[in-house]
Each structure stands twice: as C-alpha cells, then as structure tokens.
Amino acid sequence: MVSTDTRKETKHIRTIIAADLKGTAATGGCRECQTSCQSACKTSCTLGNQACRK
Amino acid sequence: MQEVARRVFSEQGRPSPTGIRRNWHRFMAAGARLLLDVQSGSLHSLDEAAWGVLEAMEKGKAASQTDGADGVMADLDVLIAEGTLSYPDYPDPMPAALGPGVVKAMCLNVSHDCNMRCGYCFAGAGGFGGERSLMPAQIGCRALDLLFDISGHVRHLDVDYFGGEPLLNMDAVGEITRHGRELEARTGKTLKLTLTTNCYGLTPEVDKFLNDNNIAAVLSVDGRPGVHDGVRRTADGDSTFQRIAGNMLRFVNTRPTGEYYARGTYTRRNLDFVEDVLFLADMGFTSISFEPVVAPPSSPYSIREQDLPRIFDSYDRLVTEMAARRAAGREFRFFHFDLNVAHGPCLAKRLLGCGAGREYVAVTPDGALYPCHQFVGREGFIMGNVWDGIVRPEIGEAFAGAHIYAKPACRDCWARYMCSGGCHANAHEMNGTLMAPYSIGCLITRKRLEAALAYAALQASAPA
C-alpha cells in the first residue's frame, strides 16, 4: 500500500509519481482494459500507456 | 549512520548490487536524474548526492563513503516504508492467478488487398503472402458473434478493421459495424471499433461514416513528404503524400473530439524521425504515434545497431520539443509518451503484454483465426475459424507461456512491467521463438520508456 500523505520529508529524493503496481497483484486480472496492440502501435507493444478501467 | 538507515540494512540486509540494478532503474533524461522503482512503478527524482550514493551501491561500493550518504539512506528508508520504493532483493510479485485465456479483442483483416505498395509492408503489399481477397460481411459478422460469445464476463471488447486497406471493403465494414452495434444493444457489452487506413481512399462519405459510428481512426502517414513518398507509394508507383495529407486534414477537422492517431513508421532512412513527428504536429495533428519498422536485416529499411544513437537522439529531442510546445500552449500527444504511471494496467496484464493468441486474435477474409495480425500467413499458427471457434488452444497456451518471468531476456530487465516482453511476432520473426525478444526492439523500447518517463516527470513538475 502506498501512502505519501503522512510521510516524513525527504531531502535528496523527491517522489514525482507514486504508484502501487505490486498492490495490483492481488486485485487485478479483470481484463476490462484495452488490448494494447489494438490502436496506434500495432508493431511494438507497450503497456505503460494503457489505463486501468477499474 | 542514522537510525532509519540502519533499520533497512540491519533488518533486511544490504541490498545486492544485482538487485539494485534490476529493480532501481537510475537514468538521466531531459537533464533530470530519475529513479524508477520497477516493482511499484513509482518515479522519483534524485539530487546529485542521491545519484552518487545509488551509483556506488549499484557497484557494490560502500555508500557511507559518498557525500550525503546518511541523508540519502534516510530518504531511502522513508520511501521503502511508504511503498514507493521496493527493497531491491525482494522477489517479483506474482498475480493471484492468470486464469484461462478469454478472447476480448479481434483484428478483422477485412481486406487482403491494398491500393498502395509501401516498401516495408509486413502484409506483403496487402496479401499476407496469399491471394488478394476481401472479407465477406457474413464472415465479419460471424467473427463478432464469436467474440461476443467467447469473451464471457468481459464487458469491454475491441475490434480493429485492418488489412491490407480496409477502405477497399467499406460495404462489409458498414454491415459488420451495424451488426456489432446490434450485439452491443442485445448483450449490454461495449464494442470499441478502430479502423486503420492509409487514407488514400478516405472520402467525405467515409469521414461521416466513421464519425457517425464512433469509430476511432489510425491514419498512416510517415511525416515529411520526401520521407513519406520515399516508401509509401501507389501500386503504380505514384507518390501519395499530397492526396493523403489533404484527406487526413479534412477528416480530422470533422471530428474535433473523435479519437484518431496520425501514425508513422520510421526506418533506417529517417533516423531523425523527430522531424517527422514535429512536421505532423505543425500540420495540426494533435495525436501522433511513430513506430520503428520491423524488417529483416537484409531490408534497406531495417534498423541496425549502429542506427541506434541517432534514434535515441530523436527521442531525447522529442521530449524537450514536446515540453517546450506544451509550455507554449501548443501541446500534442505522442502515443508512447502517454504513460499512465500511477494508474496503469495491473500486474497480471503486464506479465502477458498484448495478449496475442489468448485475449486477442486476428481474422482473415476467409474466417481463419490467428494469434495476431502479424502472424497471419505464418505456417502453423492457425488457431481455428469463425464457425468452430478456437480449435487449437495449445497455440494460445504457448503464447501464455511466453510471459516476462519465463523469458530470460525479460526476467532481469528494468523495463519488464512497462514493455511486457515486447512483440511476440517480432520475436518469432527475428529469432524463430516466442521466448527470445527482438533485441534491437528491446533497446529502442528501453530508450523510449526512459524518454516517456522523463516527459511524465516534466509534466508532473510543470506549473498547472
């Protein structure tokens, strides 16, 4: 679980985007997301630009 | 060393350099020092002290001898405690279950024919190595019946009209679309339709059809006229840029909110493809995608290892140009930089990538099912047909087995959860196996992801 609400200050490392991919190991797999090679790539699958529809 | 820092290293042991290199990806892009935590997907920026400490740790050197080490260690503990940084020697997470394959997307090759002859076409100028043919509407409608049936509980379905050139078979596209909308109404499922076209035959009537039926469009164009016409010509050898550019602009202007991508392919001949992206942006296109060509090494278009530095320069420059245009109010989208870092797909999806053969199949004009559009015509990959469904499930199972934890080249790659193992078709074409990804594709993907993350960092840091 990621929570940056009550975090201590950091001095040298600044979080730009907090994500919780690990947490989706237990909750994911519904398969409602778009098929990744079905739009503007068609030759080089990349999943990072897909969104979760949950 | 401070107490918090001792906590990580005394309780869990000093992270191994191997684990750090595998799970903390440190890189410079667009002038920023960035750190991707691979397992959580979180993105951080580093100051010079943190950069130095992490560099020392990657090399197995004593971090405490580096300037600012105590403070950096304290920061690492904060991030690990909150979950935005993973302890690098922890094993990769496993999804609860991958479950059986559920086909939820189809590529309908409505036309195995084309009015253009592009030099790099993987579809053999439209015919996919076979006879030229058009898909009868009956076959396409039957394919949709099958899709709605075998997609089970999945409510969001995707279908792409593809080819060859789908506009050569618009009567069938119209009939299949009507049938799809009827199936939607009957079942309560949602069918997202996309049509990929070379735009040569795009007419105002087709514009209206695509808009009225809410069909997303992928519009093929390679950028600057000289680049485009150097590869994308008619069957008679004529240039096409002038005609397709006019058609594209007219069409895009009829759908101010409709989804589209101006989509190009770059080759060895335009390694400075950033100029082609910017050219299209200057023409007024606001959604753009560019892909590296996939061609055998013998092809004059293929990307070679010595071409990579210029390709990497193009991605770097694209980041800075896009950031500058965004700041100036002239923003455009680049498909591969449109990362959804915080709310992207779940882990289960990322293990298997595109889902070819398992969640996604391609349908030929005669109704045969293949794992994806690029496998069409390749021997041994017919999975079934639109009447009998999937009769060779072992093909899909082979694709399911080619996940990122199973492929040696992917297991330790920092990009594994964002690339998801790359394109199966490219792996098979280049290496003859699904288990070994196309290595030049891997190098390009890693660079493109670094650029995309740098652009995401710039966007997150920019004033609202």
State pLDDT tens for residues B119-164.
Answer: 998 777 777 788 899 999 999 999 999 999 999 999 999 999 999 9
ipTM: 0.90
H helix intervals, B284-431: 308-327, 347-352, 393-401, 408-411, 416-419, 424-431
Nearest to A47 among B265, B335, B350 (CB): B350
Longest distance between any two alpha carbons in chain A, whole Å: 44
Q: Could you give the CA distance from residue B220 to residue B426 in angstroms, rounded to a whole number?
A: 20
Residue A46 has a pLDDT of: 62
Q: Between A and B, how many CB-CB pairs are < 8 A? A: 256
Q: Do the chains contact at B360 and A49, CB–CB below 8 Å?
A: no
- Per residue in B171-188, pLDDT (tens digit) is 999 999 999 999 999 999
Looking up tokens 């889902």 gives: B355
Q: Which residues of A touch B344 (CB under 8 A)?
A: 19, 21, 47-52
Residue B343 has a pLDDT of: 86
Q: Do the chains contact at B50 and A29, CB–CB below 8 Å?
A: no
Q: Using 50 as the pLDDT threshold, list the residues of chain A that sit under it.
A: none
Residue of B nearest to A3 (CA): B82
Which B positions 341-400 lie with beta carbon below 8 A of chain A? 341-350, 353-356, 359-360, 372-374
Q: How far B164 CA lies from chain A's nearest CA (Å)?
A: 13
Residue B1 has a pLDDT of: 41
Tokens of A37: 């090679």
Residue A45 has a pLDDT of: 58
Q: Do the chains contact at B39 and A29, CB–CB below 8 Å?
A: no
Q: Which H or E element spans position B211?
A: helix B204-212
B184 φ, ψ (degrees, to nearest 5): -55, -50
Residues paired with B385 in a beta bridge: B368, B389
Q: How far A32 CA lies from chain B's nearest CA (Å)?
A: 5
Q: Could you give the CA distance from residue B56 to residue B43 in angstroms, rounded to a whole number?
A: 20
Q: What own/partner pairs with CB < 8 Å and gap ≥ 24 does B234-239 have? A: B234/B115, B234/B116, B234/B117, B234/B200, B235/B114, B235/B115, B235/B116, B235/B117, B235/B125, B237/B117
Q: Using 50 as the pLDDT threshold, list the residues of chain B that sit under it.
A: 1-3
